[in-house]
Each structure stands twice: as structure tokens, then as C-alpha cells.
Amino acid sequence: MAVYTQVDDAELIAFLSTYDIGDLLSCKGIAEGVENSNYFLHTSAGNFILTLYERRVAEADLPFFLGLMEHLATKGVTCPQPVRNRAGAALGRLAGRPAMIATFLDGYAVHHPEPAHCAALGDALARLHLAGAGFPLRRENALSVDAWRGLFAPAADRAAEVADDLRETVESELDLLENRWPRDLPRGVIHADLFPDNVFFLGDKISGLIDFYFACCDAFAYDLAICFNAWCFDAAHAYAPEKGVALLEAYARLRPLTPAEIDAFPLLARGAALRFLLTRYVDWLNVPEGALVRPKDPREYLAKLRFHRTVSDIGGYGLAL
Ligand SMILES: Nc1ncnc2c1ncn2[C@@H]1O[C@H](COP(=O)(O)OP(=O)(O)OP(=O)(O)O)[C@@H](O)[C@H]1O
Ligand SMILES: N[C@@H](CCO)C(=O)O
């Protein structure tokens, strides 16, 4: 459960009294997520999500995230909408943290996606990339290749606690990726964390996307590679070609990939695997005392990274785009 910050009842009621969303009926910590503290709020006006932003979210970036959710909704992408208080502000402060109330989305996350779910995701991701055009704010990707060495260095000495070859693997990947990372691929606003837990389904259709707190301006194909890693492997972390094909074909139907994106894809998939391996590894070593959170397993992404190291071109994924 991700609840790092506990909210006092009296403080919450005072906070809610600045909004027009009725009286508090219940407030419960949500048993999912690892980044922020999330509460399910039930008021006399309906259901809402209360988020308290934690360590990895910089307060200065919040206008980008909140503005993006509002922009995407105007372009037909269903995502949570910030609720404004009577003074017109979407951002407030609660229990010493920046805080926001958002609309509640119906739907459920599919934890073991089938190829049809991957195809639905490919379509939704391409729509998201196209819908980001015209969003005026900018945010660079703070967790891209230039940040990875600095994430690993302070924690490198403990790598053997996770896997014997972790240190050597990460260090050789850093050398390769820093050298060869493509910098001129088509780019725009990307989600950057569109894992199955951030995509809601109703039946076989996507009902909404959540958790825009890593969104930034970066290569579209890198976002696709993040999804590829998160959606197209089986429970034993083995690549499932039918899922990869479903995802990429559905994406390319709406936004065809350029030859440079196709060439770069295996390298992007390696980088995307390393990025989540590193944040998971760092989080694994540093669970804050008293936090209700179950850190995610870095070894899952080490297995995916090992697989990508064996692939030299997109044909290695069973793809012919
Ligand atoms: N707008 C919403 N409508 C319905 N449920 C939501 C909404 N926002 C969040 N949730 C619920 O809260 C959970 C945690 O939210 P979220 O994924 O944003 O947290 P996080 O800590 O940032 O997670 P992550 O580990 O994916 O970064 C979600 O899995 C979902 O169950
Ligand atoms: N989606 C991330 C956690 C949230 O950033 C992961 O699975 O490592």
C-alpha cells in the first residue's frame, strides 16, 4: 500500500471545506502504487482521489502534470481531472505535502494482459502521443539516460544483495547506452510510466489512463519501449512475441514508426529496462520507515534487460514493421 503521509481527520475536513464537493463520508488509503500517497475519498457529492505528492515529484513540475491532464481531456483522452477549490486552485497543501483532489475513474487494471489488451494499449498510446501536440508546457525527462549513472552510483556497493551480476551488468549498460542513446527521434509529450496498473479497462476497452507524474517531453518510441517491457512479457519475465506484435502493430496503425525509430527500438527497450531496474533497485534499498508500501522487484527488470541484450534488431522480437 502506498501511504507515506498520514492525514489527520480534522485537517482533511478543513481542507475539504475549501472545495464544493460535499461532506466527507470516508477516506481510505489505497492499496496500490509506490510513488505518492493516494486516498480514496467518498463525499456526499461522489467519489474522488486525494493524492499527496511525495519524494520523486518536484513541486515545480505539478503545473505541467495537472495542465497536461486537462489538455488531454480536451483532446478526448480520458484521464483524472484536477478538481479546483472555490478559489480556483487545483493544488493545495495537506499534512505538509502538496495535495490534489482528482475525479475518480471507473475501470480496473488488468494485471496479466493478453494480446488484445496490448493492442488496445498500442492504440491508446498512439492517441495519447497525438493528443499531446499543442500542449504548451515543457518538462524534460528527469529520469532519462543522463540521470541513470547518478542514480546507480550511490547504491552500487549493495548491488550483490539483489543479484551477483547486477553491478557489472548495469555498469556495462551505462557505458553502452550513454554512448549510443539516440537523441533525434520524433518527440513530444510522453506518459513514461504506462504500466498495466495505470491503464483502466471496462470489458475489453480502455476506460482511462492515470498517473501522469512521470510525463515529460521525450521520444515517442521510448514511451512505446517502456510499454513493451511492462506489457509484453509473461509472468516468468519471458518475452511474449504475440503481445509485442499486438502492441506495436496497433500503435503503428495510428502513428507509423519511422525507420530511425525501428532501428533504435532494441536499444530503447534496453534503456527502458535499465531505467526501471535502477529506480526499483534504489527503492528496494530505501523503503522509508513507517511507510505502507511494497517495493517492486528489481530482478524482473534485470531479466528483461538480459533478454534485450540478446536482440540486435526488431526482427528479434518477432516484428516486421
Ligand atoms: N483517478 C482515479 N480514479 C480511480 N482510481 C484511481 C485514480 N487515481 C488513482 N487511483 C487508484 O490509486 C492507485 C494508485 O494510484 P497511482 O498509480 O497514481 O499511484 P502511484 O503511487 O503514483 O503509483 P505508481 O506506482 O504506478 O507510480 C491506482 O492503482 C488506482 O487503484
Ligand atoms: N511503474 C513503476 C513504478 C512507478 O514508478 C515500476 O513498476 O517500477
Identify the pLDDT of residue 1. Answer: 41
Beta bridge partners of 102: 49, 82
Per-residue model confidence as pLDDT tens digits over 143-183: 999 999 999 999 999 999 999 999 999 999 999 999 999 99
Q: Can you name the CATH fold of 9-103?
A: Phosphorylase Kinase; domain 1 (3.30.200)
Question: Which ligand sits nearest to residue 299's alpha carbon?
Answer: 2
* Alpha-carbon gap, residue 267 to 311, rounded angstroms: 9
> Measured from the CA of 107, which atom of ligand 1 is nearest?
4
Identify the pLDDT of residue 295. Answer: 84
What are the extents of the domains in the chain? 9-103, 109-317
Q: What is the mean pLDDT of the chain?
A: 95
Ligand 1 geometric centre to CA of 183 (Å): 31
Q: What letter does residue 140 receive in the DSSP assignment?
A: B
> Measured from the CA of 56, which atom of ligand 2 is nearest?
5
- Edge-to-edge, what's the strand order for the sheet holding 37-43? 24-29, 37-43, 46-52, 97-103, 91-94
Identify the pLDDT of residue 55. Answer: 78
Identify the pLDDT of residue 94. Answer: 95
Query: Please, are residues 4 and 51 in contact by the beta-carbon 8 Å criterion?
Result: no
Identify the pLDDT of residue 33. Answer: 72
Per-residue model confidence as pLDDT tens digits over 34-70: 778 999 999 999 999 999 998 788 999 999 999 999 9
Per-residue model confidence as pLDDT tens digits over 182-224: 999 999 999 999 999 999 999 989 999 999 999 999 999 999 9
**Considering the entire predicted model, what is its pTM?**
0.95
Our CA angle for 149, 214, 162, nearest 5°, is: 45
Given a cut of 90, whether residue 12 has pLDDT beyond it is yes
Beta bridge partners of 41: 27, 48
Mean pLDDT of 62-79: 97
Q: Is 197 in the pocket of ligand 1 (CB under 6 A)?
A: yes
Per-residue model confidence as pLDDT tens digits over 225-276: 999 999 999 999 999 999 999 999 999 999 999 999 999 999 999 999 999 9
* Alpha-carbon gap, residue 140 to 263, rounded angstroms: 23
What percent of the chain has a predicted confidence (pLDDT) above 90?
89
Ligand 2 geometric centre to CA of 44 (Å): 33
Q: Is 277 in the pocket of ligand 2 (CB under 6 A)?
A: no
Residue range 109-317, CATH number:
3.90.1200.10
Query: Please, are residues 141 and 218 in contact by the beta-carbon 8 Å criterion?
Result: yes
Query: Please, are residues 83 and 64 in contact by the beta-carbon 8 Å criterion?
Result: no
Q: How confident is the model at residue 109 (pLDDT cuts 50, 70, 90)?
A: very high
Q: Is 296 in the pocket of ligand 2 (CB under 6 A)?
A: yes
